[in-house]
């Protein structure tokens, strides 16, 4: 997305550059840019639907990371909330959400909408830039995946395919999956946890049990040593985490 909105003395214009604009005031407009990576997940959930024969994934979640910029307000910890609707069959979809960058004494925040073409976001961001009456307008781009979050991100920076799409309502239904018939319940202490697996030692002293983690959001608040109740289901002969709750 290579568009920037500028406003000086109440006159607005669109120009085809890959910049963002901060501090929107009469006689005070300047370009800026930032790059970012946000790959630490929180509360990520994905639903898979079947729509007119196509497979569609609806993913929601938050990812945090770091933004880098020569503009102080855009240089610091970044957090993004994303709702992604992605047609896996056609490798095309869209994403909506918000961005926050927090620095000492300042907070940049704004909402965005973007087209997703085979994992590449091409969007537009609008929000506030720090204290006072600063505003931020500019392109937002990057690479997005439900497992990896956002990489090669740019606000007013980077290349994007400048893609448009038309989306219409179609018959969508959740993908049918066999209901698990074998379940595991473990009450005990967490021995190990990662974005791919969790191991819990039962309180009765029996052997520790491990289950695969489907998404990092399932265990983002669990730490080694926590006392938990873990529920797992057997899928394809392997234990898969259904839920884990701290006690």
In this structure, the answer to whether residues 142 and 224 fall within a common structural domain is: no
Overall domain count for the chain: 2
In this structure, the answer to whether residues 134 and 203 fall within a common structural domain is: no
Mean pLDDT, consecutive 10-residue stretches, the chain (247 aa), reads: 33 44 58 92 89 89 94 92 95 95 86 95 89 80 93 84 63 67 92 94 94 87 94 88 91
Range of the domain at 47: 4-173
Domain harbouring 208, CATH code? 2.40.50.320
The pLDDT, as a whole number, for residue 224 is 95
In this structure, the answer to whether residues 10 and 108 fall within a common structural domain is: yes
Asked if 190 and 226 count as a contact pair (C-beta separation under 8 A), the reply is yes
CA distance 48 to 174: 6
Single residue among 145, 173, 201 that ends a domain in this structure: 173
Which position has the token pair 């039962």? 202
CA distance 244 to 247: 10
In this structure, the answer to whether residues 206 and 234 fall within a common structural domain is: yes
Within-domain flag for 61: yes
Residue 193: closest CA among 172, 170, 216:
216
pTM for this model (two decimals): 0.64
In this structure, the answer to whether residues 162 and 74 fall within a common structural domain is: yes
CA distance 66 to 39: 9
Within-domain flag for 178: no
């Amino acid at each position: 997305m290579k568009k920037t909105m500028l406003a000086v003395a109440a006159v607005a214009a669109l120009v085809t550059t890959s910049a963002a604009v901060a501090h929107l005031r009469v006689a005070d407009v300047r370009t800026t840019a930032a790059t970012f990576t946000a790959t630490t997940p929180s509360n990520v959930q994905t639903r898979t639907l079947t729509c007119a024969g196509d497979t569609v994934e609806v993913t929601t979640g938050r990812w945090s990371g770091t933004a880098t910029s020569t503009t102080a307000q855009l240089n610091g910890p970044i957090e993004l909330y994303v709702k992604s609707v992605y047609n896996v069959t056609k490798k095309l979809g869209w994403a909506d959400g918000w961005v926050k960058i927090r620095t000492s004494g300042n907070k940049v925040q704004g909402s965005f909408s973007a087209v997703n073409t085979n994992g590449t976001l091409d969007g537009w961001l609008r929000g506030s830039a720090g204290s006072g009456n600063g505003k931020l307008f500019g392109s937002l781009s990057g690479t997005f995946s439900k497992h990896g979050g956002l990489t090669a991100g740019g606000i007013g920076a980077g290349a994007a395919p400048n893609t448009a799409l038309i989306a219409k309502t179609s018959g969508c239904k959740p993908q049918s999956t066999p209901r698990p018939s074998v379940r595991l319940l473990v009450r005990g202490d967490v021995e190990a946890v990662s974005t791919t697996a969790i191991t819990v030692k039962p309180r009765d002293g029996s052997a520790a049990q491990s289950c695969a983690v489907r998404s990092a959001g399932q265990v983002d608040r669990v730490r080694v040593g926590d006392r938990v109740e873990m529920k797992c289901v057997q899928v394809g002969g392997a234990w898969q985490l259904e839920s884990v709750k701290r006690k």
